[in-house]
Amino acid sequence: MFYIHQSSCISPQQTFKDADLTVLHGPVEKQLKAIEPTYDAIPPGVLRRMGKAVRMGAGSALPLLQEHGKTDGIIIATANAGKEDCVKFLDQIVQYEEGMLTPLNFVQSTPNAIAGQLGLITKNHGYNITHLHQGLAFENALMDADMRLAEYPDHQYLLGAVDDISVSSYTFEEKEGWHKQEDISNKDLYNADSPGSIAGEAAVMFLVNNIAAGAKAKLVAVDTLHSTDEHIIKERLTFFIQQHLQNNKADLLLSGEDGDNRLAHFYDMAAAVAGNETPIAHYKHMCGAYPTASAFGLWIACEIFKAGALPEHMTGSLLKVSYKNILLYNSYRGYQHSFMLVSVA
């Protein structure tokens, strides 16, 4: 597919600029909240008016857009962006009984605000799009970038995913039963044996193009499907592995398991398909559960290639590694599934 050159990540862990994954930061009030930097790249007047998702998106993307040459377009994935302003505007409608309302929340409630703001701030007139499809929004963004780079082989794109925890998005998920009732440490996420997970958030950005030289990683393939039938998902994952991996074996399975015991059987299935010899690492205890979390998984995969080591909290024991490829499997709420294969460049 294409090559990943630069990456940037604002997450509940120390991932922005100088990443340090050895220390695991835990949840606050049952939420894994992003460690937000000071956002030096955003003009203060503009920053004040930004909602959290736009702020995190712009804050993670602008260093890449400003420091690494021409970018031909902006491809963003988000499922929740805008929800905070959306509910604020709803509150206005109800509170003032459809009276004289201020438009700021309405304008910012549109989920294309991140891509739009990035286009505006960097005067980028190129391709500009926002993918929203829940737990597969980021995978669709990947496919979009892949198609653009086939259509315009010398282009470079900003490709990213942003979802934030807002009071309202948290309340919706809480009512739908996607959070753990008990207050647990993220260290214990995979042993909890209870429904739900810990809410999370992050903004992850990549610069991608067709140039192998100097790349951090190569995205080899991505596939998605909607199903709740484990057998169908198993068939598709098996086919995916056969199609894209020599010896049908991945060096590492980076599992999107999120500690929800209702979904654990999907991840057990993926581990079985990957095979006994393939070690497993996790990442949702670091970023929490949110729709575009697989983007954080891809960022982690790039870091694993770079660091050559995995911290103990990801695997259960410290691993020194020289992986050539990493398979990612993720399920969103048990009905959306994605497979990604990423390799060293």
Partner 1 sequence: MDRIVVTGIGVISAIGNNVAENRHALINRNCGMGKLEMFPSHFSGILPVGEIKISNESLQKKLQVHEPGVTRTSLLALHALQEALQESRLTPAEIAAYDTALISANTVGGMCLTDEMYHDSKKETGSSEYISSYDYGSINRFLQSRFHFSGPINTINTACSSSANAIMYGARLIKSGRVKRAIVGGTDSLAKFTINGFNSLRILSNEICTPFDEGRKGLNLGEGAAFLVLEKESEASSKKIYAALSGYANANDAFHASSLSDDAAGPYKVMKEALEVAGLSPADIGFINAHGTGTENNDLVESIAMKKLFSEIPPFASTKANTGHTLGAAAAIEAVYAILNLSEQEIYPAINFNVPITATGLIPADSYRKAELEHVMSNSFGFGGNCSSLIFSRA
Q: Which residues bind partner 1 (CB under 8 A)?
A: 74, 79-80, 86-87, 89-94, 97-103, 106-107, 109-113, 115-117, 119-120, 122-134, 136-137, 140, 143-144, 146-147, 150-151, 168, 171-172, 174-176, 224-227, 232, 335
Q: Considering the complex, state which of residue 11 and residue 109 has its C-beta at the smaller distance from partner 1.
A: 109
Q: Considering the complex, state which of residue 221 and residue 253 has its C-beta at the smaller distance from partner 1.
A: 221
Q: Considering the complex, state which of residue 3 and residue 16 has its C-beta at the smaller distance from partner 1.
A: 3
Q: Name the minimum Å distance from CB 40 to partner 1.
A: 22
Q: Name the minimum Å distance from CB 165 to partner 1.
A: 14
Tallying the residues shown for the chain, one arrives at 345
Q: Are 200 and 288 in contact (CB under 8 A)?
A: yes
* Residue whose token pair is 């503009």: 46
Q: Name the minimum Å distance from CB 273 to partner 1.
A: 18
Roughly how many angstroms between the first and final C-alpha of the chain, as a whole number? 11
Q: Name the minimum Å distance from CB 119 to partner 1.
A: 4
Angle separating helix axes 230-244 and 264-274, nearest 10 degrees: 30
- Partners of 226 in beta bridges: 336
Q: Considering the complex, state which of residue 129 and residue 307 has its C-beta at the smaller distance from partner 1.
A: 129
- List, in order, residues 6 or more apart from 261 with CB less than 8 Å away: 192, 193, 194, 195
Q: Considering the complex, state which of residue 172 and residue 190 has its C-beta at the smaller distance from partner 1.
A: 172
Query: How far apart are alpha carbons 18 and 20 in whole angstroms?
Result: 7
Q: Name the minimum Å distance from CB 64 to partner 1.
A: 17
Q: Are 118 and 74 in contact (CB under 8 A)?
A: yes
